[in-house]
Amino acid sequence: MSIKEAFEKLIGALGNLLGQVKLPEHFHLHFSFLSNNKVEYNKTENKLIIDYSKLNTKQKLVTTEVIKELLEGDYVVFEEGANKIVEDIQKKDAEFRKIGFFKDKLSPSDYAALEASVYIQSVFEEGKDISKFKLQLIERFGSRGNTICNLYGTGYFHNLIRPLYDQLAVESDFVNIEDFRKIFDKLIEEFPFAIFVNRAMGVNDITTEIENKIHKNKKYGIRTLNIHGINTTNVKNIRDTIGQLEEEGKIRIKSVVEKHKVILVSIEITPP
């Protein structure tokens, strides 16, 4: 791709934000994830300003591709720190591609909340304050959006929800999206009071996690707890654990949904 082609591709992708722009051979690219709140070409200062958070998924992909191309030549003057920002963009871009798997599997609103969650998580990992972004998320998507953000931040999408869908696909030629969304709704409903059992946890680990959660929940007067897990080993370990805890009188099993090597358990914490 020639430098002219790279510029044309970038301007073409951002056209609805920039309008008609004729760029010179050399210019400054300014990147901002938070502060500028705009995408524009400043003709006086010869700067193309791109607030990455204002781009849609396609524009992000094109921008990242073009930036990588420009970095290999001497056509653009990058300000100090631009290389690190480009690396950050590429990292975010990879994560956006991963969650793209869910685009036709979640409702448009849920998927938009998931996209926002990727951005919020990246800001959190940079050690920056995310409170205003979480507030904006809640204002737009309500408590459901906040839960989706928390599900993403705790690894549920990659460690439970994606494997769940893959398991459904293995066991059937056709995955009923409505059935999948019902399970997703259940995860959202139960998540605030849930434990996710991962592959590294044995029966002792699960028991300790549940007992710690029971102790914490009792302090706040919460009498319910949900346990989620996937794969044959985790399902067995969860069943063994809750069976033992019920025998000891610490819990009462309210419901167990087990399907496609996924288990969703709801328990009631017995009074002291």
Q: What tens digit of pLDDT does each residue of 238-267 get? A: 999 999 999 999 999 998 888 767 888 999
pLDDT tens profile 31-46: 554 445 677 776 666 6
Q: How far apart are CA 184 and CA 57, in angstroms?
A: 23
Tokens 């995955």 — which residue?
A: 175
Kindly give the residue spans of alpha helices, DSSP state H, lying in the chain: 3-13, 15-18, 57-71, 82-99, 108-125, 131-153, 156, 162-171, 177-190, 203-219, 232-247
* Cα dist from 156 to 3, 86, 93, whole Å: 41, 27, 19
Domain spanning 192-272, CATH class? alpha beta
pLDDT tens profile 93-146: 677 778 889 989 999 889 988 888 888 888 788 788 888 888 888 888 899 999
More confident position, 62 or 78: 62
Per-residue confidence band for 179, with pLDDT thresholds at 50, 70 and 90:
confident
What pLDDT is stored for residue 78 in this prediction?
Answer: 47
What pLDDT is stored for residue 244 in this prediction?
Answer: 93
What pLDDT is stored for residue 148 in this prediction?
Answer: 93
> Parallel, antiparallel, or unpaired for β 262-269 and 194-197?
unpaired
Structure tokens at 140: 């737009």
What pLDDT is stored for residue 102 in this prediction?
Answer: 92
Q: Give the lowest-confidence range in 121-130, 170-179, 211-220.
A: 170-179
* Cα dist from 165 to 78, 105, 134, 195, whole Å: 43, 9, 27, 20
Structure tokens at 266: 């709801």
Q: Give the lowest-confidence range in 14-28, 36-50, 177-191.
A: 14-28
In terms of residues, how long is the chain?
272
Q: How far apart are CA 54 and CA 51, in angstroms?
A: 6
Q: How far, rounded to the nearest angstrom, does the alpha carbon of residue 190 sit from its chain's CA centroid? A: 18
Chain region(s) in the chain for CATH 3.30.110.20: 192-272
**Closest Cα partner for 159 from 71, 267, 111, 231?**
231
| Whether 227 contacts 194, CB under 8 Å | yes
What pLDDT is stored for residue 242 in this prediction?
Answer: 94
What pLDDT is stored for residue 2 in this prediction?
Answer: 59
The phi, psi pair for 211, rounded to 5°, reads -65, -40
| Whether 50 contacts 31, CB under 8 Å | yes
pTM over 0.85: no
